[in-house]
Amino acid sequence: MVTDTESMTPDTEPRTETSGGSTGDRPLLEVTDLVKHFPVKSSGVIRRVIGQVQAVDGISFTVDRGESLGLVGESGCGKTTTGRVLTKLYEPTSGSMVFDGTDLSPLSAKQMLPFRKDVQMIFQDPYTSLNPRHTVGSIVGTPLRVHDVVPKNKTLARVQELLELVGLNPEHYNRYPNEFSGGQRQRIGIARALALKPKLMVADEPVSALDVSIQAQVINLLQDLQKEFDIAFLFIAHDLSVVRHFCPRVAVMYLGKIVEVGDRESIYKNAHHPYTQALLSAIPDVKQAQVGGRRERIRLEGDVPSPINPPSGCRFRTRCWKAQDICAEQEPPLLQIGGPGGHFAACHFAEPYDSAIHDAAKAQAAADEEARRKAESAPEPAD
């Protein structure tokens, strides 16, 4: 495949420089105390606000230039909302989002227009994210026309170049989305996001709707594009195996809060937060299956609480086997674990993974024994 590398290279500064021309280690994206609440209104003629869905409630993280940060957690924890707030598809309730030296939070839609080129999103569903009435050429070419990136007479050539870049036949620009498979549609979405040479891509579960074989192709494509164009990624997913393959740094989210963040090795091999440990224990272990036996799994009791009325203190305490009185009274801060490795966890009783497995097994055994005793002491039903 032959492409004009020079024309496709993003307009980014070297990673050691900032947009103002000064040098330093300032992140490309710095999110501080980001909050997004959705109002809950009563039914009837006069609809009053009776509550707030606390989808994202005070999270902070950074993304460096050319870096991939994975954001993982259960469905409903606020991952997708975070991505949509960062791209200003949702307006933040409060907090700051400093992108390349500019806080995007207070900007209006008109003021955001110059930054749309630098912050793009790959949507989760490749079927509903493409307009079925538009051809592929129109879908990929619209950002070029809106931002006046290339002359009108060169738009088609650029669209074909982008299609070829993501592994599609450039001659298929006049086809409609329904003529492509799921994996091909996701590649069209990637080509659309790549058209404006972004510095940051928010990838919202970009492979969750695809077959396993196609997932690998799309992930490898994203990695190749990242290396070639130095694009930073916020990679949102619930598949921990995919995140481990793609992201050198991982943040774990639960009920609107980031509960643990660190580099890939420290998170996957030495997780300290009980929720992270429970997620990791559910990953199938191929090596363990080869030698026989089963790896101990931490089973969480109960359902995820409602984000309308989350628990006081630590939000995970209602499902945590370590929970004590302090967990209900005081929200644990995100504190550094161990040495200077950039590993942080928000837990009053953070401990290594092996100890957590042992403690969880003891707690489960005690609960099972208590249930057995109650069953034995219950009176037998009358005939």
State pLDDT tens for residues 91-127: 999 999 999 999 999 999 899 998 999 999 999 888 9
Strand segments, DSSP code E, in the chain are 29-41, 49-63, 68-72, 94-99, 102-103, 119-122, 200-204, 232-237, 249-254, 257-263, 335-336, 344-345
pLDDT at res. 241: 87
User: Could you tell me the end-to-end alpha-carbon distance of the chain, in angstroms, rounded to an integer?
Assistant: 80
Asked if 47 contacts 250 with a C-beta cutoff of 8 angstroms, the reply is no
| 306 DSSP assignment | P
Would you say residue 317 lies in a domain?
yes
State pLDDT tens for residues 184-206: 999 999 999 999 999 999 999 99
Same domain for 317 and 212? no
Asked if 210 contacts 185 with a C-beta cutoff of 8 angstroms, the reply is no
Would you say residue 366 lies in a domain?
yes
Q: Which residue has the higher pLDDT, 59 or 351?
A: 59
Average pLDDT over residues 180-185: 91
pLDDT at res. 378: 64
Average pLDDT over residues 318-326: 93
| Cα–Cα nearest to 333, from 343, 344, 342, 318 | 344
Statement: residue 312 has pLDDT above 90: yes
Same domain for 68 and 193? yes
Would you say residue 218 lies in a domain?
yes
Same domain for 190 and 147? yes
Query: How many residues are given for the chain?
Result: 383
Q: Is the dihedral of CA 367, 373, 379, 383 positive or negative?
A: positive
For residue 168 the two structure tokens come to 């599609």
For the whole model, what pTM was predicted?
0.82
Statement: residue 14 has pLDDT above 60: no
Q: Which residue has the higher pLDDT, 356 or 78?
A: 78
Same domain for 79 and 179? yes
Would you say residue 181 lies in a domain?
yes
pLDDT at res. 289: 53
Residue 280 φ then ψ, to 5°: -65, -35
pLDDT at res. 366: 63
Quick check: helix, strand or coil at residue 17? strand
Would you say residue 252 lies in a domain?
no
Average pLDDT over residues 348-354: 83
| Full residue range of the structural domain in which residue 94 is found | 5-36+52-247
Q: Which residues contact 151 (CB under 8 A, 6 or more apart)?
A: none
Same domain for 277 and 198? no
Same domain for 188 and 335? no
Percent of the residues in the chain that have a pLDDT greater than 90, as a whole number: 61
Statement: residue 53 has pLDDT above 80: yes
Domain count, the chain: 2
CA distance 358 to 238: 25
> CA geometry: angle at 149 spanning 165 and 87, to 5°?
80
55: exposed, middle or buried (Cβ count in 10 Å: 0-12, 13-18, 19+) = buried
How many CB atoms lie under 10 A from the CB of residue 184? 19
Given 229, 247, 265, the domain boundary residue is 247
Same domain for 198 and 234? yes
Give the CATH number of the domain where residue 185 resides. 3.40.50.300
Given 231, 247, 263, the domain boundary residue is 247
| Average pLDDT of the chain to the nearest whole number | 85
> pLDDT-based confidence at 363, cuts 50/70/90?
low
Helix (H) / strand (E) containing 192: helix 182-194
> pLDDT-based confidence at 250, cuts 50/70/90?
very high
Same domain for 99 and 9? yes
Same domain for 191 and 60? yes
Amino acid at position 208, single letter:
S
CA distance 123 to 354: 37
Same domain for 213 and 288? no
Lowest mean pLDDT of 21-35, 100-114, 197-211, 254-268, name the range: 21-35
pLDDT at res. 294: 56
Would you say residue 86 lies in a domain?
yes
Residue with tokens 């793609």: 246
Statement: residue 226 has pLDDT above 90: yes
Q: Which residue has the higher pLDDT, 370 or 74?
A: 74
Same domain for 154 and 291? no
Would you say residue 266 lies in a domain?
no
Would you say residue 44 lies in a domain?
no
Same domain for 201 and 334? no
